[in-house]
Structure 1
Amino acid sequence: MWPLFTIQSRELTGRKIISRNLFLLSFLILIISHVSAAPIIENDVKLTNTTNANHPSWSPDGKKIVYAANQAIWIMNSDGSGQKKLYDGMAWEGEPVFNEDGSKIYFAAESKKAFSARYISIHVMNSDGSDGVKLTENSDCRNPAVSPDGNRLVYSSRESGNYDIWIMSPDGTENKRLTDSEGDENSPAWSPDGSTIVYSSMGDIFTIGINAVRPVQLTSDTYNNIEPSYSPDGNSIVYTSNVGGDYDLWILSADGSSQMKLTNYPSDEKAPVWSPDGTKIAYTSNKDGDFNIWVMTVKDSSIEPDKVEEVPVVNEKVINNEYVLKLRDYAANKPREFIGIVLLGSFLFVVLIVGTFLRRIS
């Protein structure tokens, strides 16, 4: 039997065996596998036209998006209309999120006491921008996220020296530290059932139960994997990674067993968060120059990592070839065009093999 991806051509006399590795066939299988596994972005719309817009967050009903831009907190309709500045304390404000019923917005802001250094604190205000209250003092506290039931607030704090994950009541009381490591833990987000928190630490994605002792590591590579967020069904986690050099959006199964690339633009895409109905992802990107808020519509069946088969490792030289990697990314972004190219290439390849065989037996 012929070895996989190898053709052995035998002369009729049996005195000579020609065996060669089919780099092209390996390449085609790799590309076709990648195309079949690629998620389909049906729509990708730019919502803002400003500078340094970042950290979008959906309202629970999916009708509003709160975000930060130019060191202030803004809100808009989910289609980009009705953009309005909610809060500008003349210092840095960012990382806004809605509470469980959309009536309040939590955010981080730079603070300063007399004769002391500046620090970042967590604030809360009504969703119309009124009645702002500071909840934390002294040490840096940021990245707030409200639990699904509204009873707890997770955040990252430098109270112990480096950033750890903490939980407190929505009014700023009953603080409890969840993690304690030598590295920084940031960007915590709740699972839909409120039992687990996902976060990033030292370039990898981790989860920890609210009553657990040890975290669970989901990624383990040399890249910077940050800003994780659960899907509404809890099966997947969208996050940011610089695997290709630029920051792109990736999707990871909730248990860390599989992952796939969602975007591949020559720019940075960051801070992704799913819409409440799971059909859209809001994020920030500088693909038009300045960082702005974008929303993509993603086909549900294509973004579930547990339904995506791993790309087969058919040839190490193929996997590591820079031109193949570029073509693979092209296949992910323009699957219809590339499928046509692959089919034409496959046809020509078959013609070449058949022609060679016929010449040898003639």
Structure 2
Amino acid sequence: MPDSGAPSSSDRLDSWKEIAQYLRRDVRTVQRWEETAGLPVHRRVQNGQKRGPVFAFRSELDAWFRSSTQAAAVGSRAAAQRPWFQRPWLVAGLAMGVLGAGLTGWLVWPREALRLPPKVTQLTDYPGVEQNPAFSPDGKQLAFSWNGKEQSNFDIYVRLVEGGAPVRLTSHPALDIAPVWSPDGSKLAFVRNSRTSPVSEVMVMPALGGAEKRVAASIRLSDFGLSGPALAWTADGQGLIIHRTGPSSDQISLALASLDNQEPRPLLTPPPDSAGDCCPALAPDGRTLVFLRATREGAWQAHVVPLSEDGKPLGEPRRLTSEPSGVLRPMWAACGRQLLYLSSYQGRWVLWRLLSDGAGRPAPVESIVPAGIDWAASPDGVRLAYSNSASHSEIWRVALGSGSEATRIISSSGARNFNPQYSPDGQKVAYMSIRPPDAGIWVADSEGNNPIRVASATGVFAAPARWAPDGSKLVFECVVEGNEDICAVSATGGQFHQLTHHPAQDLAPSWSRDGKWIYFTSNRAGAFQIWKMPASGNEAEAVRLSDQEGFGAVESADGKMIFFAGQRRTGRLLKMPVAGGSVETVGSIRLLGRSHNFAVANDGIIYISSSNPEQWFEIWKYNFSDGRAVKLARFEKRLASGLSVSPDGRQLLFPAYEEQFGDIYLVENFN
């Protein structure tokens, strides 16, 4: 605190909200600190009693936090409340918010001076997108994924860090991503994602090129809103740690797959109240595994567990981080002495460093790079490679069956606009927009003009916001105190209203045509299934409609049927009566991409089909009258997420990516 005088008025924070923002915690936490740890908060005197509004001084809070006794009481670094990284589209968008910050500093912890300042150079400047950098064990080579000069398909490439042309190792029509070097540098493992399958294949090949070998099938991390690492080698180079379904069908878990094609065996068992374990990284000595485990509150935290020589866990995992916002992409550095990870801070991703034994507090790597989610540290920790890959999407309108060209109606420089939804009268459009450093729900007129933000991103927006039948409200996914729930907000903006409070994940809501019910997807009974509840918000009356797994129910125009996806991604379209009954498939429709990539019209279903969705897609319509599907249009674009048909069935809104880029940069003298 200053030596003379009282704190100035400019030093004052005048509400719990301002105090919480300054300390980078939520309001409940700082209120608890006042009660249990002596946080210096003042109250104005009203009628002779201290019952008025609270206020605090920054200088007093700083002094309190510097106190060793108080710092021990509150634990590790404060951080922002859990934000947006449960969905991959939002992770990628918000990561780019840091790009504008520039390269302004270097590692400042520990306090000793660095021998050399960091040096940033561009490694790749090829056409298209280069991503997923991975250093070889000796740090001299870099493997990465690139969609090639024609930008048509992602394959695995290798190049020397010091220079030279890239060598292409794969040429499969599927998407080959996320390469990882074996401990001796002789092999590369990578993930192969088919365009038509919801699962990934784990592949291995010689690092110099040659025959590929399929090792196992793996869950796609993007289905759980996770970014990686996707794979980790065992110390002996004879196995890989991969992702599989956990004890519960909606859990993700880690499994050990051997190169001899034996059935993968479970490595760890996540707690029953957790979404699971993911994102493994093995220490250079091969005897310690760091991974992420979802806590009961929903945030993913870094854990470590020692391993035996044959890769079996020795004891229970130990939790390393306690970030309210959770963490991403744990990585080893400095020959295993340090752990690096990402966590959200003030709307941007920040790289943090922690001693691998858990001693001390995490410390930021201060703006060395635009710390997106796609990066790797060299084994010695001296170099860091990252990709600045990003894209933006715009919303288009096309007249169905007319053969006319599509018209762009919503476009924002540097933003990702997606999940459009016509209002019931067709006069307005609601849509999601990621505009770094945040995201939100916007409403514009049907031409895309006069947009207003009606809800800011305090949580996860993955499924579209859906209109009430009278057009007065929108219902959407929200995250409240770390839990995914259903919320509603006025179509003109204002305070949103939380409708569900269950500790399970409640997702993808939509209104019934009569406005009396809200359908939603929930795993409150185990697997993700279709539920409904009164639109009034009486959650006690929520009922499960079917034992069938399902996502994103939408009611038919006549109010007699609901249509929903059988899987979170790339699955069959299903239907059932609103009053309950048997579940049936809808023709031979196979949804492309996310489970909400379909639209229910008065006389049919509009959906997307493509054998190469990175390059083009077709719009198809399934007619209720004769059960036949007809092609309506084709576009040489990459589809984003969400479709919406106008109330008269004549117009379709769809989002498409307009620009993708991504180069790989090298930071030398990183540590």
> Given the two structures, how large is their TM-score scaled by the length of structure 1?
0.62
Do residues 230 (structure 1) and 600 (structure 2) align?
yes
Q: Which runs of 5+ in 2 are unaligned?
A: 1-399, 661-671
Q: Is the CA contact 2:458–2:479 (under 8 Å) kept in the aligned structure 1?
A: no
Give 1:79's aligned residue: 447
Give a deviation string over 1:78-107, Cα, whole Å, max 9, x none: 001001111114433352111011111111
Give 2:559's aligned residue: 194
Q: Using the alignment, how far apart are the partners of 1:221 and 1:196 within structure 2?
A: 17
Q: Name which of 39, 45, 54 aligns with 2:407.
A: 45
Do residues 217 (structure 1) and 585 (structure 2) align?
yes
Give 2:531's aligned residue: 166
Do residues 91 (structure 1) and 459 (structure 2) align?
yes
Do residues 251 (structure 1) and 615 (structure 2) align?
no
Count of aligned residue pairs for this structure pair: 243
Q: Is the CA contact 1:188–1:228 (under 8 Å) kept in the aligned structure 2?
A: no
> Given the two structures, how large is their TM-score scaled by the length of structure 2?
0.34
Give 1:121's aligned residue: 485
Q: Using the alignment, how far apart are the partners of 2:483 and 2:420 within structure 1?
A: 23
**In structure 1, what residue type is equivalent to 2:422?**
W
**In structure 1, what residue type is equivalent to 2:408?**
K
**In structure 2, what residue type is equivalent to 1:92?**
V
Tell me how large the CA RMSD over aligned residues is.
2.3
Structure 1 position 43, deviation (Å): 4.2
Structure 1 residues 153 and 201 mapped into 2: Cα distance closer, same or farther (>3 Å)?
same
Q: Using the alignment, how far apart are the partners of 1:289 and 1:179 within structure 2?
A: 41
Q: Is the CA contact 2:573–2:591 (under 8 Å) kept in the aligned structure 1?
A: no
Q: Using the alignment, how far apart are the partners of 1:219 and 1:111 within structure 2?
A: 38
Q: Is the CA contact 2:417–2:432 (under 8 Å) kept in the aligned structure 1?
A: yes
Listed as ranges, the matches of 1:47-66 within 5 Å are: 47-50=409-412, 51-66=415-430
Give a deviation string over 1:9-61, Cα, whole Å, max 9, x none: xxxxxxxxxxxxxxxxxxxxxxxxxxxxx943324111222322111111111
**In structure 2, what residue type is equivalent to 1:229?**
A
Q: Is the CA contact 1:240–1:271 (under 8 Å) kept in the aligned structure 2?
A: no
Q: Name which of 510, 521, 545 aligns with 1:145.
A: 510
The alignment-based identity, stated in percent, is: 21
Give 1:27's aligned residue: none
Q: Name which of 111, 117, 142 aligns with 2:480.
A: 111
Give a deviation string over 1:245-283, Cα, whole Å, max 9, x none: 445432112378211233422333342111112111112
Give 2:648's aligned residue: 277
Give a deviation string over 1:92-127, Cα, whole Å, max 9, x none: 335211101111111112233xxxxx3321101111
Q: Using the alignment, how far apart are the partners of 2:591 and 2:474 within structure 1?
A: 32
Do residues 132 (structure 1) and 496 (structure 2) align?
yes
Structure 1 residues 140 and 276 mapped into 2: Cα distance closer, same or farther (>3 Å)?
same
* Greater shift in the superposed pair: 264-273 or 200-209: 264-273
Q: Secondary structure at the match of 2:563?
A: strand
Do residues 289 (structure 1) and 659 (structure 2) align?
yes
Structure 1 residues 263 and 160 mapped into 2: Cα distance closer, same or farther (>3 Å)?
farther
Q: Which runs of 5+ in 1 are unaligned?
A: 1-37, 113-117, 291-362
Give a deviation string over 1:261-309, Cα, whole Å, max 9, x none: 33422333342111112111112111x227xxxxxxxxxxxxxxxxxxx
**In structure 1, what residue type is equivalent to 2:562?**
I
Do residues 240 (structure 1) and 608 (structure 2) align?
yes
Listed as ranges, the matches of 1:265-344 within 5 Å are: 265-269=635-639, 270-286=641-657, 288-289=658-659
Give 1:349's aligned residue: none
Q: Using the alignment, how far apart are the partners of 1:43 and 1:222 within structure 2?
A: 25
Q: Is the CA contact 1:218–1:256 (under 8 Å) kept in the aligned structure 2?
A: no
Q: Using the alignment, how far apart are the partners of 1:142 and 1:253 within structure 2?
A: 28
Structure 1 residues 243 and 188 mapped into 2: Cα distance closer, same or farther (>3 Å)?
farther
Q: Using the alignment, how far apart are the partners of 2:469 and 2:637 within structure 1?
A: 33
Give 2:546's aligned residue: 179
